[in-house]
Amino acid sequence: MQTPFGVVYATNISPDPENGIGTWSEEAFRRAMHEGIRKDGAYLYPAFPYDHFTLITDEDISALYAYFMAQEPIPSQPLENELGFPFNIRTLLAGWNLLYFEPGRFEADPEQDDDWNRGGYLVEALGHCGACHTPRNALGGPKLGERFAGARVDGWYATGIGAHSPSPLQWSEWGMVNYLIDGWDRDHGVAAGPMTPVVNHLALLPEDDIYAMAVYITSFQEDDDRDRDAILAFAEEREFESQTIPESDFLDDPALRRGQERFASSCADCHRRVSETAPLALASSVSGPDPINLINVTIDGIRPPDGVPEKSMPRFTTMSDEELHDLVSFIRHHFTEEPAWDNIKSAISIARENFSRSSGR
């Protein structure tokens, strides 16, 4: 995981006695999960979300321990973290914990129903959704006043959820269920990037659990006073008819015109009326506050979740930074009524580094 403090590598949690957790007792495992302290007494970095796992019940911790210990040991030596001074001094995490860590177990809200409470437990504890979807401060602590507001994580933008969703259409409970199980909803588009493996694993859960998560997340949305029909009409009106742009529709701004022509030649064959893609005007990667997800999927394409294998998108790796900038600017201009992004250039640089690292180039 790329962090502002350096690179943190996941450790070996197979029951290998040399490199994994094979010699850990259940009590040591429980302390790591609930308190963020490993077997030798050293503090764990909060890239491991013990501030969420502390909420897991003792019974579920025991079940997790039994599961891990029943797996095949893998003798793989973990990589060393690449953290500079002073972030490589684990004892300093005592101060971080004092500021940002509150140990305890999930407590059901007696004023809410069983679905809401089950969803809250899955989202807040086991699922630790806020670990990505909540922004962090300069010390890596969660900005609790901006819970679920969205954040940059490892070169992607974890979109705001609940009341902070940038989606033009409000999420319904069943729309959220569709998205969490299959990674696709017609009103919101397809999951991509780090959300893809999340969806693939959520798909293994009972549908009742997914529904409970949807109930919990959507409960934080405010009353919806948006005109759904008007939003859908706008989205359809902005869709391209074909790859041919009528001369009367050419834009005056040179950069936007170049982006318009690039979209027509490279994108409109799939992203047009009556296609199987969700209208781009409904996609949070287009309407949201950060351009990096749109840039990432343009460069690297989309390899969709297992539930919707046909929702793929090819890479456009040969597009220059200037062409990409013009295209992304046009998409934002044409498919939304939001202000132009002012950080496209820096986001392209981060996305290029991301792609080079992940592809080994």
Do 35 and 87 belong together in one domain? yes
Quickly state the pLDDT bin for 303 (edges 50, 70, 90).
Answer: very high
As beta bridge partners, residue 33 has none
Do 330 and 240 belong together in one domain? yes
In a domain, 305, yes or no: yes
Asked if residue 360 has pLDDT above 70, the reply is no
Do 8 and 91 belong together in one domain? yes
Q: Which residue reads 């630790």 in tokens?
A: 128
Decide: 297 and 288 in contact? Cβ < 8 Å. Answer: no
Q: What share of the chain in percent tops pLDDT 70? A: 99
pTM for the model:
0.92
pLDDT, tens digit (0-9, with 9 covering 90-100), for 39-62: 999 999 999 999 999 999 999 999
Mean pLDDT of the chain: 94
Total domains in the fold of the chain: 3
Q: Last residue of a domain, which of 191, 218, 245?
A: 218
pLDDT, tens digit (0-9, with 9 covering 90-100), for 204-221: 999 999 999 999 999 999
pLDDT, tens digit (0-9, with 9 covering 90-100), for 11-44: 999 999 999 999 999 999 999 999 999 999 999 9
Q: Report the largest interatomic distance among the alpha carbons of the chain, rounded to a whole angstrom.
A: 72
CATH number at residue 335: 1.10.760.10
Query: What is the SS3 assignment for 7?
Result: strand
Quickly state the pLDDT bin for 8 (edges 50, 70, 90).
Answer: very high
Quickly state the pLDDT bin for 361 (edges 50, 70, 90).
Answer: low
Q: What range defines the domain where residue 61 resides?
A: 2-100
Do 209 and 235 belong together in one domain? no
Per-residue model confidence (pLDDT) at position 247 = 74
Do 129 and 39 belong together in one domain? no
Q: For residue 293, which amino acid is it?
A: N
Do 236 and 355 belong together in one domain? yes
Q: For residue 320, which amino acid is it?
A: S
Asked if residue 240 has pLDDT above 70, the reply is yes
